[in-house]
Structure 1
Amino acid sequence: MPSRTPSSAKPKPLSDNDLEQISTEIAAGRPPMVWFTAAAVGVTEGRSGKVVSLGDPSDGDFLQVRPTGSKDVLSFGPIEVTLTKPPRDKPAPTAPKTAPEPKTTPEPKEVPVPTAASQTTSEKRAAESAAGTANKPAAEAKPAAASRTPAPAKAAKAPAARKAKAAEVVVTINGTADGEWTVDVTSGKKRTARAVPVAGTAIAQAAKLLNPEVAEVVEGLLETVRGAQEAKVQQLQAELEQARKLLEELSD
């Protein structure tokens, strides 16, 4: 009878007490160990990692975790990690071997000894059978049945290894009329960088290395920002000149 292995309990999401415990250990300089659940995207279930910092819970993925064996720090939500270490699967016990049944030797049967009369009759029948076989043509002889060798079973095809799907990376560049530029980076469903400030010169240099159509759009935005800043400078210069004249009139 095949053995039954009990299924492991489904891990619970992190509670407020768990998050408070994680925050305390991080403050004490001891990043706590967590394990990824089936809800984690891009990471194998059961893999471990350490929580290096906690962000704003309103962001959703506010736990900054470094998976074991990796140098990258990724963002995860409270349902994607657990403080409970998953149990290891135990091998099913093998069925005990039954002892082979002892072989019994059949008892010898008694063979009756033929009498003289029966010996004579048997000899006559054997002679007649031999004579009849000699008179039959060779064509009537039945050919021996050819032995049939079963065809070898086809080897089962090994299942193809599943290829790990690489996470998609999306880089978003945001610009304002005041010349402020920021960059957002999203890896799969995780936002790894948000509103990182970038200089306008870096945006201009990166645009020149991209597709000409993309470079043309970025250059147009930069030109608009330049025009707005030049207009702002002229306005400030006019206000400064007016203030100087007022100050001279008050000094007379």
Structure 2
Amino acid sequence: MLSDNDITQLRDALEKGKPPTVWFTGRAVGVDPGKAGKVVSFANPAEGDFIEVKPTGSQDTLSFSKAELTLTRPKQRPAPKKPSPPPVAEPAAEQIYQPEPAAPAEKKKAAPRRRTVPPAEVTVTLHSTPRGDWTVDVVVGKKRSVRSMPIQAAAIHKIAKELPNQVEEAISAVMAAARQQHEERIAFLQAELDAARRALNELT
């Protein structure tokens, strides 16, 4: 705040052509407290906002009261300390994993190779009777595995079709002879049956 003596001092400086410097107090309106300005004139009467000041860096002239100005230069506030950067943690030493050398694998003993046994010779023999009954014998190597096993004539006839022609013809001849024998037997039995019927009719 300016006193009466301060006002007199400012007027004297203006009369000498030296615009005096003043600073704005916290009661100044429109400017920042602590900012400086140059007094350019005094209005009459010397009441209220009669001191005309041009703030530093401004082209405008503003009116202020004694309470808004001072000749005491405000102490400069120390610049706020910049926060110190947080300490940078040193990177931890990277631990490189080194696998332990693997124990040499034990060499597996090669399994003894089994001796390949060649397949045994198989002999299949078909037998037929004059009546057309069929049986089969199977010999594997030197061992007889099947002995006189009955087989139906229909199965033999079916198998014969898959065999060479000479074999099929031989089997077919045997079957034809057996068929003829059965036909002759049927004819004989039929004749006996007819004779028995005639004898029966004569007795009635």
TM-score of the two chains, using structure 1 as the length reference:
0.35
Larger radius of gyration: 2
Q: Which has the higher strand share?
A: 2
TM-score of the two chains, using structure 2 as the length reference:
0.43
Q: Which has the higher helix share?
A: 1
